[in-house]
Structure 1
Amino acid sequence: MERIPAVGLGTWQAAPGEVTEAVKLAIDAGYRHFDCAYLYHNESEVGAGIQCKTKEGVVKRKDLFIVSKLWCTSHKKSLVKAACTKGVKALKLDYLDLYLIHWPMGFKPGEEDMPFDRSGMVIPSDTDFLDTWEAIEDLVVMGLVKAIGMSNFNHEQLERLLNKPNLRFKPITNQIESQILLRFQIQRNVIVIPKSVTPKRILENIQVFDFELSEQDMNDILGLDRNFRMCRLPIAEHHKDYPFNIDY
């Protein structure tokens, strides 16, 4: 699939035992974009739903746009390929359409998703995300992923990456949180990724192409802004690459 579908199904906090059925229902409802991550610990269940619908002939692999993300404990260059390969296998795929650096911050490698010190703060790694990006670029060359991007990077971090010497592949996305939605910023386009495992809501969330919002509607929505982040990750506020020390 060359273009990213405008609406995707989010799988964050979708419990094993629920997410497989949610994915199957979503495919039947017309979803072709699925947002996953190692940290969600449900990629095998997502893959089971995808595999079921491809075997039934409802969709072909080329019809789908599957996204996953590199977790912070695998930022070291030598760990990136293994982390990506693990996700591809869990999803029962041969490749990913898009692979993201989940956060700009590297954490101490190991089995724990959140390696804490005695004060309860996450232990950083000394990896620079520019080095991580080089290993991410290698995944494109290997054919494990078709496109690459980032998530939760601020504009200064994005600019630093774009200005990196010898940049081989530019990021095509920066996935950011927007209230209860995740969204991709692609140039000026926005792709929304609502998450639900409730059949009624899964269906409702994709029925968004038969109306338009007026200028007043947009102004009313903008007026709801409370400058609030759901995923501020305060346990990493001391990290040199913590992205939320600036507004955007």
Structure 2
Amino acid sequence: MDLTAERHSVPLSDGNHIPLLGLGTYGDPRTTPRGTALECVKLAIDVGYRHFDGALVYFNEHEVGQAIREKIADGTVQRKDIFYCGKLWNTFHPPELVRPALERTLKALKLDYVDLYIVELPMAFKPGKEFYPEDQDGKHIYHHTDLCATWEALEACKDAGLVKSLGVSNFNRRQLELLLNKPGLKHRPVSNQVECHPYFTQPKLLEYCRQNDIVIVGYCPIGSSRDASWVNVKCPPLLEDELLVSIGKKYKKSTAQVALRFNAQRGVVVIPKSFSPERIKHNFQIFDFSLTAEEIKAIEALNKNIRFVELLIQTSPHHYARKATFSLFQHRWSDHPEYPFHDDY
């Protein structure tokens, strides 16, 4: 695959294209100063990024949208050059709430459409004003999930021109098949955003998605922090891996750049999150070297089949005063009927 900084998009099954390298835009509202996402997305566009991954529950889509609009206004890019992915949150799964949720994202972005809109998780929560509804005991309140009905509402949004492509996130094979086999399916899911990196290479899911023309978008592509409140610290630090270090020395690249290049060469889209100007620039510098087939095979052999994160959870400000940890939330969510990670893949 001939990848360059200017040309590194891959085709989607609906005829659209997605850049293989994007910027994740989640930032903890407790610690991220206002305006950070705005400035970092503007910088990223100047560096060469054209793909931005966001969500309503990141609480910063207004900044991301402003950055995109400002870089359009100053002539750096056109709207057609930018690929923005938004997400449908768990409390908006009922069909009548799908379009209003997408319209909230469009209103925050002040854009006419998003390029990709995905079901963030296959688990529905009780609809309402709270993104994380709880009962009196602090247990999250689930809602009946009809993924096919939700998908039909998303198809209507695509038909209305509010979104170019439709996809999912954190779906296992069974949940993907539920959509692919839906009677009257109009628009197939073009992507599935899941954790994917050298320690969790997703071989079975990747092969299944390839067979069904579904692009894998990998989150945590260079691992994650070592915060034990939400990260599986039993998994050793990815960026300290001896093989990645040695390959990096060969090409005069960092282990992060090797890990990103590894997935990109496999056709896996990578969306490393960073609000560090230096790392934003650093992560983009993966187009001036190429891994050999032997190196790709060796890195694939690093797979430990262990997740860094049980679920990539973003907590709302409502929870910041609580002492409960992310892992407690994850444990509670695992009893949801559509919790995706009980299955093999």
TM-score using structure 1 length: 0.92
User: Is this contact kept in 2: 1:11–1:36, CA < 8 A?
Assistant: yes
**Worse overlay, 60-69 or 11-20:** 11-20
Query: In 1, distance between residues paired with 2:108 and 2:192?
Result: 24
Distance of aligned partners of 1:118 and 1:247 in 2 relative to their CA distance in 1, 3 Å threshold: farther
Of 253, 274, 277, 1:196 maps to: 274
Task: Give the corresponding residue for 1:112.
Answer: 130
- TM-aligned CA deviation for residue 48 of structure 1: 1.2
1:205 aligns with 2:223: no
1:227 aligns with 2:227: no
User: Is this contact kept in 2: 1:32–1:63, CA < 8 A?
Assistant: yes
Identity %: 47
User: Is this contact kept in 1: 2:46–2:76, CA < 8 A?
Assistant: yes
Of 53, 68, 72, 2:86 maps to: 68
User: Is this contact kept in 1: 2:145–2:338, CA < 8 A?
Assistant: no
Distance of aligned partners of 1:167 and 1:203 in 2 relative to their CA distance in 1, 3 Å threshold: same
Q: Which amino acid aligns with 2:335?
A: H
- TM-aligned CA deviation for residue 121 of structure 1: 2.9
User: Is this contact kept in 2: 1:179–1:230, CA < 8 A?
Assistant: no
User: Is this contact kept in 1: 2:91–2:131, CA < 8 A?
Assistant: yes
User: Is this contact kept in 2: 1:179–1:229, CA < 8 A?
Assistant: no
- TM-aligned CA deviation for residue 226 of structure 1: 5.6
User: Is this contact kept in 2: 1:94–1:144, CA < 8 A?
Assistant: yes
Task: Give the corresponding residue for 2:334.
Answer: 237
Distance of aligned partners of 1:52 and 1:195 in 2 relative to their CA distance in 1, 3 Å threshold: same
Of 102, 107, 121, 2:120 maps to: 102
**Worse overlay, 215-224 or 148-157:** 215-224
1:25 aligns with 2:43: yes
- TM-aligned CA deviation for residue 90 of structure 1: 0.6
1:186 aligns with 2:265: no
Asked which structure has the greater CA Rg, the reply is: 2
TM-score using structure 2 length: 0.67
User: Is this contact kept in 2: 1:72–1:103, CA < 8 A?
Assistant: yes
For residues 1-248 of structure 1, the aligned pairs below 5 Å read 2-13=16-27, 15=32, 16-178=34-196, 186=215, 189-214=267-292, 215-216=294-295, 218-220=297-299, 222-223=301-302, 225=304, 227-232=306-311, 233-248=330-345
Query: In 2, distance between residues paired with 1:231 and 1:189?
Result: 24
1:62-121 alpha-carbon deviations (Å, 9 max, x no partner): 111111000000001111111000101111100011100000111001111111234433
Query: In 2, distance between residues paired with 1:77 and 1:175?
Result: 22
Show structure 2 runs of 5+ residues with no match. 1-8, 10-15, 207-213, 217-265, 312-329
- The alignment partner of 2:270 has SS state of strand
Q: Which amino acid aligns with 2:127?
A: P
Instruction: Report the count of equivalent residues.
Output: 247
Query: In 1, distance between residues paired with 2:297 and 2:109?
Result: 37
- The alignment partner of 1:12 has SS state of coil
- TM-aligned CA deviation for residue 179 of structure 1: 5.5
- The alignment partner of 2:20 has SS state of coil
- TM-aligned CA deviation for residue 237 of structure 1: 1.1
Show structure 1 runs of 5+ residues with no match. none
